[in-house]
Amino acid sequence: MDKADIPKIKYIEGRERTTELVCIPGKAPFIRFIPFSNKKKSEAETTGLTIECGACDFVMHGFSTRLGGVSEGIFSSMNFASNRGDAPENILENFRIMGESLGIPAESMVYAKQTHTINVLHVNEYNKGMGVTRERDFNDIDALVTDTPGVCLVAGFADCIPVFFIDTKRKAIGLAHSGWRGTVNDIIYETVKKMSELFGTDPEDIRAFVGPGICAEHYEVGNDVADEFKNKYPDAEKMGILRKKDNTGIDSGNMSGGASGEKYYLDLTLACRDNLINTGVPEDKVFLSDICTCCNPELLHSHRFTKGQRGGLCGFLMIR
Ligand SMILES: [Zn+2]
């Protein structure tokens, strides 16, 4: 894909640069997370990130964009959402194209079956290809963990928050889908707990990446959702997780407004960050995406931006 065909990226204001778009000629572009990449120290320093370089060298990762696939219309063109009307052969071809870009065969991938649960599945050789090149034998799985090399964890997104975990000491990985329900119910805690039980992971050894997903500016929620967050995070407003919407303008004087009609902006990314820190992941090993799905509708699939008429992105994480 020609670099000239890449839409201009809009970054989240005030966030340090944590992602880069990788464009290899003839391959589909994908997003790489700088804190997970194998850059030389000098390069990492120019990004302003203070990270231990090379610690994640045993892992391959990537996050898809809308570019470089074979799907059409609302799915155009790199789509991995399988239940929204796109042809299964298109999705399989997209997995093959993406796999070639990342250097990961589609047969090595295991695709989560996400239903906003907090269920975590341990996958290994046995699961390879499930949800991608062959049927799954599992359902209702919103996070995957493994310590098996060559098994690629895959999960789908279009605004919800992906959370990537790398235990740099035990050499184990996890990938979770944290929408608002998964965040309130703390799939992050569940994922780390599973890694601890299975692989002996100490949360202190985890490097985590949160996003790309929807930014607070684009994520307006009602009282019902806001209340759930207030329950889990008593200081939600002070922490910036919730920000009350200014109820001025056309809403004022509306009889159906008032307390029950209050709106909030929800920062899922900050909530996930808090979950990670409370789970024991060191603050300086938690990295937040600098791009939002809804801010970049030409580059990324966004549920909110398209009012649900959309395809899906995928995150990929594998031990070499
Ligand atoms: Zn946004």
Indicate the pLDDT class of residue 131, thresholds 50, 70 and 90: very high
Residue range(s) of every CATH 3.60.140.10 domain in the chain: 3-215+282-319
pLDDT at 256: 45
* Range 289-297 average pLDDT: 98
The Cα 150–Cα 301 span in angstroms is 27
pLDDT at 260: 58
Ligand 1 centroid–CA 217 distance in Å is: 6
Indicate the pLDDT class of residue 292, thresholds 50, 70 and 90: very high
pLDDT at 50: 60
- Could you give phi then psi for residue 108, rounded to 5 degrees? -95, -5
Q: Is the pLDDT of residue 250 over 80?
A: no
Question: By mean pLDDT, which of 21-30, 50-59, 248-257 is the weakest?
Answer: 248-257
Ligand 1 centroid–CA 291 distance in Å is: 8
Q: Is the pLDDT of residue 10 over 90?
A: yes
Tell me the chain's radius of gyration from C-alpha atoms. 19
Q: Is the pLDDT of residue 39 over 90?
A: no
* Range 255-282 average pLDDT: 86
The third-level CATH classification (topology) of the domain covering 3-215+282-319 is CNF1/YfiH-like putative cysteine hydrolases (3.60.140)
Over the stretch 154-174, which tens digit does the pLDDT of each residue have?
999 999 999 999 999 999 999
Average pLDDT value for the chain:
92
Indicate the pLDDT class of residue 257, thresholds 50, 70 and 90: very low
Ligand 1 centroid–CA 218 distance in Å is: 5
DSSP class of residue 173? Answer: E
Ligand 1 centroid–CA 307 distance in Å is: 14
Q: What end-to-end distance do the CA atoms of the chain give, in Å?
A: 26
Greater pLDDT, 45 or 52: 52
Ligand 1 centroid–CA 53 distance in Å is: 30
* Range 24-49 average pLDDT: 78
Ligand 1 centroid–CA 296 distance in Å is: 7
Q: For CA atoms 13, 18, 24, 28, give the dihedral sign.
A: negative
pLDDT at 153: 98
Nearest to 233 by CA among 283, 267, 190, 192: 267
Ligand 1 centroid–CA 122 distance in Å is: 32
* Range 91-113 average pLDDT: 98
Side chain identity at 70, as an amino acid letter?
Answer: V
Ligand 1 centroid–CA 259 distance in Å is: 26
- Give the CA diameter of the chain: 61
Q: Is the pLDDT of residue 152 over 80?
A: yes
Ligand 1 centroid–CA 56 distance in Å is: 28
Ligand 1 centroid–CA 127 distance in Å is: 35
**How much of the chain exceeds pLDDT 90, in percent?**
87
Over the stretch 64-79, which tens digit does the pLDDT of each residue have?
999 999 999 999 999 9
Ligand 1 centroid–CA 213 distance in Å is: 8
Ligand 1 centroid–CA 168 distance in Å is: 31
Q: Is the pLDDT of residue 150 over 60?
A: yes
Nearest 5 degrees, angle CA 167-CA 168-CA 169?
A: 95
Ligand 1 centroid–CA 8 distance in Å is: 14
Q: Is the pLDDT of residue 201 over 70?
A: yes
The count of C-alpha atoms lying within 13 angstroms of the C-alpha of 246, restricted to the half-sphere facing its C-beta, is 3
Ligand 1 centroid–CA 135 distance in Å is: 34
Ligand 1 centroid–CA 34 distance in Å is: 20
Ligand 1 centroid–CA 137 distance in Å is: 35
Residues with Cβ < 8 Å from 181, sequence gap 6 or more?
116
Over the stretch 272-283, which tens digit does the pLDDT of each residue have?
999 999 999 999
Ligand 1 centroid–CA 292 distance in Å is: 5
pTM for the model stands at: 0.93
Ligand 1 centroid–CA 294 distance in Å is: 5
Indicate the pLDDT class of residue 254, thresholds 50, 70 and 90: very low
The Cα 247–Cα 144 span in angstroms is 41
Ligand 1 centroid–CA 16 distance in Å is: 16
Ligand 1 centroid–CA 251 distance in Å is: 23
Question: By mean pLDDT, which of 220-229, 245-254, 295-304, 307-316 is the weakest?
Answer: 245-254
Ligand 1 centroid–CA 315 distance in Å is: 19
Ligand 1 centroid–CA 214 distance in Å is: 5
